[in-house]
Amino acid sequence: MELLEARIRRDGKVRGDDVLKVDSFLNHQMDVRLFAEMGKEFKRIYGGCGVTKILTIEASGIGIACVTAQFFDVPVIFAKKSQTKNIAGEVYTSKVESFTHGKVYDIIVSKEFLRREDRVLLIDDFLANGSALMGLIKLVEDAGATVVGAGIAIEKAFQPGGDLIRSRGIRVESLARIKSMSEERGVEFC
Amino acid sequence: MELLEARIRRDGKVRGDDVLKVDSFLNHQMDVRLFAEMGKEFKRIYGGCGVTKILTIEASGIGIACVTAQFFDVPVIFAKKSQTKNIAGEVYTSKVESFTHGKVYDIIVSKEFLRREDRVLLIDDFLANGSALMGLIKLVEDAGATVVGAGIAIEKAFQPGGDLIRSRGIRVESLARIKSMSEERGVEFC
């Protein structure tokens, strides 16, 4: 998606060989006008797939998911990172490894919101090692529901997550796919 | 706001005398069509106030904030609950006590996204003891920026947060204000 790639070129900041800071428009400060263009693109890609729910993971996926959901006219569910006493009853759960934070945590979603008949679009801001996305896929599969595919804002295509998940037969569409990056040369897209 | 009150009456679940579960439409599964109506209402209330940024706190405020921001055509910033290595540079910080989770945590926002000239609308899903909102207000004040006011989905008016913050001269507008609630009688609005 040209608009997103141009924005990454302009405002993204590369740190080392694998950290891309996009916190001025994607995951700390959020440009909702850009999100609307991204949502339209996800709708163009997945609009014919009978999506009934969008599933994301807190926190930085929520904004993109909610704006995207307006184009699909479906609810969003966000997987929570730990169990709180405000979630009663049974939950689906899986484990996600955060390379950013260097730890493993549980994500949960209430069983009442994921039904066998649901056709679920997964939305997230980043795809790198694929741990978060694999965790979301497990939640949907545990519910007996269908993963329609994943809509990712930025895929670090030089890391293994995208290939891993596509090799399982799951459709992954990323609006910007980064082939390589460095502080000297900036970002190169696929 | 009648639409939100009706939805709380229909789908909200009271637990004990002070827990209101609205996770089927507000803060776990999210009804973005309802959020759009809430966003329009916040725009009606604060549309003439020169808002330049919307500030919320992760995680459950982000969806409402992003949908609302589309009506104001301004960026959203969400305060993060702990420092990650992906936020470099200086941050504003304050402490928030979570009664739901029974702990105190730091919230942070990068200094580069809150400027002295900003006029900030605070958005959150709940107002009860006011700790989260006070934390957000401190971030804005530390930046030398202006708090235009707060837009809250559900205020537990029987808890002290709303009065506390209004007594500081800060405008707080809540779309649903709960006077009292119990498992037997359900929710009574102000």
* Residue pairs spanning A and B at CB distance below 8 A: 117
Find, among A151, A139, A118, the residue nearest to A51 by Cα: A118
pTM: 0.95
CB within 8 A of B20, min separation 6: which ones?
A: B8, B12, B13, B14, B154, B156, B178, B181, B187
Q: What is the mean pLDDT of residues B123-141?
A: 97
CB-based contact, A33 to chain B, within 8 Å = yes
Q: What is the mean pLDDT of residues B125-133?
A: 97
Q: Quick check: A69 and A75 in contact, CB under 8 A?
A: yes
Q: So what's the pLDDT on residue A83? A: 55
pLDDT digits (tens, 9 = 90+) for B141-190: 999 999 999 999 999 999 999 999 999 999 999 999 999 999 999 999 99
Partner-chain contact A88 B21, CB within 8 Å? yes
Q: Is the pLDDT of residue A99 over 80?
A: no
The overall average pLDDT reported for chain B is 94
The closest CB to that of A28, out of B33, B65, B80, belongs to: B80
CB-based contact, A9 to chain B, within 8 Å = no
Residues of A in contact with B101 (CB under 8 A): 84-85
Q: How far is B158 from chain A (nearest CA, A)?
A: 19
Q: How far is B2 from chain A (nearest CA, A)?
A: 21
Residues of A in contact with B24 (CB under 8 A): 112-113
Whole-number Å distance between alpha carbons of B28 and B22:
8
Partner-chain contact B24 A80, CB within 8 Å? no
Strand order in the sheet with B146-156: A29-30, B76-79, B53-57, B119-127, B146-156, B172-182, B186-189
Beta partners for residue B181, in sequence order: B187
Confidence of residue A89 (pLDDT cuts 50, 70, 90): low
Q: Which of A83-97, A154-168, B44-58 bottoms out in mean pLDDT, i.e. has the lowest?
A: A83-97
Q: Is the pLDDT of residue B101 over 90?
A: no
Residues of A in contact with B65 (CB under 8 A): 63
Find, among B125, B128, B126, B94, the residue nearest to B108 by Cα: B94
The ipTM of this complex is 0.95
Whole-number Å distance between alpha carbons of B65 and A149:
26
CB-based contact, B31 to chain A, within 8 Å = yes
Q: How far is B125 from chain A (nearest CA, A)?
A: 14
The closest CB to that of B75, out of A30, A65, A70, belongs to: A30
The closest CB to that of B84, out of A30, A65, A100, belongs to: A100
Helix intervals (H) in chain B: 2-11, 32-46, 61-72, 131-142, 161-166
Q: What is the mean pLDDT of residues B55-75?
A: 97
Distance between alpha carbon B101 and the CA centroid of its chain, in Å? 17
- Scan for tokens 């706190």, then name that residue: B57
Q: Is the pLDDT of residue A101 over 90?
A: no
Partner-chain contact B70 A67, CB within 8 Å? yes
Q: What is the mean pLDDT of residues B59-70?
A: 97
Find, among B154, B139, B153, B148, the residue nearest to B170 by Cα: B148
Q: What is the mean pLDDT of residues A137-165?
A: 98
Confidence of residue B87 (pLDDT cuts 50, 70, 90): low
Q: How far is B168 from chain A (nearest CA, A)?
A: 27
Q: So what's the pLDDT on residue B108? A: 95
Q: How far is B169 from chain A (nearest CA, A)?
A: 27
The residue in chain A having the minimum alpha-carbon distance to the alpha carbon of residue B78 is A28
